[in-house]
Chains A and B, each alone.
Chain A
Amino acid sequence: MSTYFAGLLADIGILTLGALSVYIILSTGQLSLGNAGFMGIGAYSASWLTVEAGVPMTLAVVIAAAVSGVVGVIVGFPALRLKGIYLAMATLGFGEMVRSFFLNFGPTGGAAGYHGMQIISVGYIWAWTGGLVVLVMVLERSRLWLGLRAVHDDETAAELIGLDAVALKVGAFGFGAAMAGISGALFAHHHLYIEPSNFGFQHSIELVLAVILGGSTIAPGSIFGAGLLILLPEYLRFLADWRLAAFGTLLIVILIVRRQGILDRQLYRLIGFGRAS
């Protein structure tokens, strides 16, 4: 495997987890535009742990996930009061807050960035990605996840039939944030150098884009979307300077033709994967 291709594969794995983090939160109907912030928290905490504290990589990833997850739960509570674009704006603000925090935070290098991490292999990245995608796909078929979807479809009705919408929404925020934290931890140990601008709102948008493109109603949509987002610009290289414009056009076309994203439950059932739960 060429290093070029290995690099793309690693990027897909990392982006998949980031997309999955958006997907999980979106499953309860909450759109977060701040997930790159959770990624940043995971990236910086994992890097600090491996470089400064000598913590083994896997343990560092787990701790980073926990830290991001806790921050996610904290953000999840005020998020309950907001819906739609208001929530999107508030989470975007959160992401920028995290970015500027690391910009000014001396111990992790501030604007100069942070480095010193040991590189991880593509296989290691995909062990996490594969494992977590399977985990979410299993959870997706559970009654717990039906509860998330119920909150997504009709929150009031969900509460009135006995579902604790607050716990489900905050829990989804925490779980999604932990997932983003893992993505960030892997990102940092793949690129070996991180700076606050890696985790700005453009990256949050990219995560959302991957989900919307790949399919926002099922977990495999995240892998698919991440793959498209990484590979399409590569395959459009023959267009030279026009490739990003072509990429944008393609995105718009796909979204017009399939608003729910390329993969969805119907298609999934059709190819025989998703038996009714």
Chain B
Amino acid sequence: MTGETLLSLDRATKRFGGITALDGLSFNVTQGEIVGVIGPNGAGKTTLFNVITGAYTLTSGTISYRGQSIGGLRPHRIAGMGIARTFQNIRLFASMTVWEHLLVAQPRGNGWSHLLPAAMGDKAARRRAEEVLTFFGLEDLRNRDAATLPYGLQRRVEMARALTAGPRLLLLDEPVAGMNADEAEELKSLLVALRDQMGLTILLIEHDMSFVMTLCEYLFVLDFGSKIGEGTPTVVRRDPKVLSAYLGDDE
């Protein structure tokens, strides 16, 4: 299982008019790792997520997932193959309760059960939702409208929704933004548990350096759409190119 390449980008380029958001980016994500993507604002991190999930199509280059090219596939197909994500600015469904969020993203399943009232049919979907609900400690909030919850909990619901789809690769766009130190610490152990217990591979964008450095096993550093460094946190921390581009010369 581990050691294999799960996701691989080869000279991925994305241009918007005259702006090159991703510039010949190549990298591999190994199965079972927690990998961080860092880089200054505008480095192309969110664009990277958007091309992986199919929200944008690459201008040139390829993306493959489990050895299969996914470039040009529609987002719901890519999600169906096991890539789930959260968003930088939380995107929950305004009309739905927490519980409904946990049902909506699950694959259709066999037969016509998804046409029956969810409270009657779809036992498998309910069981899955229940598991995720418990894992994220959201049991007491199941009937609350998700959009009315405090920010930290909304992030949690979003992550829970992504997980119900049964992904192998989880993309998190700034998961600790707006969280305090305790919440960030809690999230860290949650992510480690996800990887250890469910075998997930996690790719995350984050600005919080201490979070990234202590959680991730491997880092990619982007600047102006290109990779300017990669390696374990210890290696990246010492890379002079990274230091000057991102962390600042003083450090």
Contacts and interface: CB of A to CB of B under 8 A. Distances in A.
Contacts of B11: none
A143 B129 CA distance: 12
Contacts of B114: 142-144
A67 interface: no
B115 A153 contact: no
Interface of B: 53-55, 74-76, 79-80, 84-85, 87, 91-97, 99-100, 103-108, 114-119, 121-122, 125, 142-143, 161-162, 165
A142 B116 contact: yes
A256 B136 CA distance: 40
Nearest to B98: A276
A146 B117 contact: no
A161 B55 contact: no
Contacts of A146: 96, 100, 103-104, 118
A162 B79 contact: yes
Contacts of A161: 79, 84-85, 104-105, 161-162, 165
Interface residues of A, number: 29
A143 B104 contact: yes
B165 A162 contact: yes
A154 B101 CA distance: 12
24 contacts: A138-B116, A139-B115, A141-B117, A142-B116, A142-B117, A143-B103, A146-B100, A149-B93, A149-B95, A149-B100, A150-B93, A154-B94, A157-B91, A159-B75, A160-B75, A161-B84, A161-B104, A161-B105, A162-B75, A162-B105, A162-B107, A276-B97, A277-B117, A277-B118
Nearest to A162: B79
A275 B117 CA distance: 11
Contacts of B96: 146, 149-150, 153
Contacts of A275: 119
B78 to A, nearest CB: 8
Given A142-B122, A149-B96, A166-B74, 20 more contacts: A138-B117, A143-B125, A146-B103, A149-B95, A149-B104, A150-B93, A150-B104, A154-B91, A154-B92, A157-B87, A159-B55, A161-B104, A161-B105, A161-B162, A162-B76, A162-B105, A275-B119, A276-B97, A276-B100, A277-B117
> Main SS of the interface on chain B?
loop
B95 A217 contact: yes
Contacts of B119: 141, 275-277
A156 interface: yes
A160 B53 contact: yes
Contacts of B121: 142
Contacts of A165: 76
Contact of B55 (A142, A156, A163, A166): A156
Interface centre among B84, B91, B97, B122 (most CB of A within 10 A): B91
Nearest to B114: A143
B118 A141 contact: yes
Q: Helix, strand, loop or mixed for chain A's interface?
A: helix
B143 A276 contact: yes
Contact of A143 (B55, B79, B118, B161): B118
A234 interface: no
A39 to B, nearest CB: 26
B95 A153 contact: yes
A132 B135 CA distance: 39
Contacts of A160: 53-55, 75-76, 79, 85
Residue of B105, B121, B142, B161 ringed by the most chain A CB atoms within 10 A: B105
Interface in A118-140: 138-139
Contacts of B125: 143
Contacts of B115: 139, 142, 144
A37 interface: no
A162 B74 CA distance: 9
A165 B77 CA distance: 11
A144 B118 CA distance: 9
B95 to A, nearest CB: 5
A191 interface: no
Interface in A165-219: 165-166, 217
A161 B103 CA distance: 11
Nearest 4 Cβ contacts at the A-B interface: A162-B79, A141-B117, A153-B93, A157-B91
Nearest to A156: B55
A164 B118 contact: no
A152 interface: yes
B243 to A, nearest CB: 34
Contacts of A162: 75-76, 79-80, 84, 105, 107, 165
Given A162-B76, A276-B100, A152 B95 contact: yes
A164 B95 contact: no
A276 B96 CA distance: 10
